[in-house]
Amino acid sequence: MPFEGLDDREGDELKRGYALEHLQEQLREWEGSEEYVYLDINDIPTIGMGVSLKVNKENIIKRRIDELSARSPEMNTKLLNDEAEQYYKSLVKDGTGLLKYKKGLKSQGLNSREVYKQMNGERNRRIDSGEMSHFSLDLSEKITDDLMVYHMGAVEKLYENVDLNYLQLGVLADLHYQSPSYIKKGTSFYKNLHKAVPDWPNAIYEISERSNKENSLGIQRRQNSRVADLDISIGGDGSGKYKEPLIYPRPSNRPGR
């Protein structure tokens, strides 16, 4: 990465840019980008690249206003706000409808495979019939960018004394967003990176050994990808397994910098 010759501010901005670009690629691979509401593994109504409707209400409305304003600049502020609010409510209604339908399937005593099959068929039917609200890829990417920028900032504050390269910043931002308990202050991960010489191999091990109680293929793929990225970020081969620790006396000499 071309950080040489840049001042700290320019270097940090470029690093955040690379981290954000990499995160977008990873999220597309992990989550895809759904253009209609779906239920995640915990039955939470979700949209785009894994964006929870409930948690991200304000951001969805804000970005929808931006989208409407660009499309119809003649719309006044009140109309923009009303339209965006109504759009958000329509997404929530879609999610509520899917939850109700799934509850009905479960009440019939169907096994999980049959529930999934019927849920998928019903959702596709609702999409094809125009019953569900469309969510554009552009809107999805902008909302995801907003989220990741926020979580990168939180990571930079939490790990302000640790020199993170762009891969490390990206992985930690994703962890802060998806699983903040993994890397919060006081965890083994946090302590390993706050040693006089950051102990990345043991920190990576902490992530690789995290449980996957739901036995979800998607969750495991994401965990494996995080471990691979962190391993590569310190010069490993992407396996996350070491015979001996890799130590970099000066942070600026770490591979990937």
* Element housing 37 (H / E): strand 34-39
- Judge if 104 and 19 occupy the same domain: no
CA 102 to CA 81: how far, in whole Å? 32
- Residue pair 53/90 in contact by the 8 Å Cβ criterion: no
**Six-digit token pair at 69?**
């304003």
Query: Which DSSP category does 212 fall into?
Result: -
pLDDT at position 211 is: 58
Give the CA count within 13 Å in the CB-facing half-sphere of 74: 0
Q: Is residue 1 part of a domain?
A: no
Assess whether 184 and 112 both reside in one domain.
Answer: no
Cβ proximity of 218 and 199 under 8 Å: no
Contact 230, 171 (CB under 8 A): yes
Residues 26 and 38 in one domain: no
Whether residue 156 sits in one domain with residue 240: yes
Determine the Cα–Cα distance for residues 11 and 79; give it in Å rounded to an integer.
41
How many domains does the chain divide into? 2
pLDDT at residue 242 in the model: 39
- For the chain (length 257 residues), average pLDDT per consecutive 10? 44 84 80 88 90 93 95 94 97 97 94 93 96 92 89 94 92 90 93 94 84 65 85 83 38 32
- Listed in order, strand segments (DSSP E) in 93-154 are none
- Rounded to 5°, the CA angle 161-190-147 comes to 80
Coil, helix or strand at residue 215: coil
If you average pLDDT over every residue of the chain, what do you get? 84
d(CA 91, CA 176): 26
Contact (Cβ atoms closer than 8 angstroms) between residue 32 and residue 119: no
Task: Give the SS3 label for residue 140.
Answer: helix
Of 88, 110, 135, which residue sits at a domain end?
Answer: 135
Claim to verify: residue 37 and residue 55 sit in the same structural domain: yes
pLDDT (0 to 100) of residue 205 = 86
pLDDT at 212: 60
**Which structure tokens are listed for 239?**
């396996």
- Taking a C-beta distance cutoff of 8 angstroms, is the pair 60, 157 a contact? no
> Is-contact 132 37, C-beta < 8 A?
yes
What span, in angstroms and rounded, lies between the C-alpha atoms of 123 and 132? 9
Same domain, yes or no, for 176 and 151?
Answer: yes
Note the pLDDT of residue 239. 75
Count of all residues that appear for the chain in the document? 257
Same domain, 50 and 115: yes
Tokens standing for residue 184: 């919060």
How far is residue 234's CA from residue 183's CA, in Å, rounded to a whole number? Answer: 18
Which are the contacts of 26, defined by CB distance < 8 A and separation ≥ 6?
A: 170, 174, 225, 229
Q: Which domain holds residue 222?
A: 8-30+140-253
Question: How many Å apart are CA 51 and CA 102, to the nearest integer?
Answer: 20
Are 130 and 49 in the same domain?
yes
Question: Do 37 and 130 lie in a common domain?
Answer: yes
Q: Rounded distance, CA 52 to CA 31, Å?
A: 12
Domain end among 90, 112, 135: 135
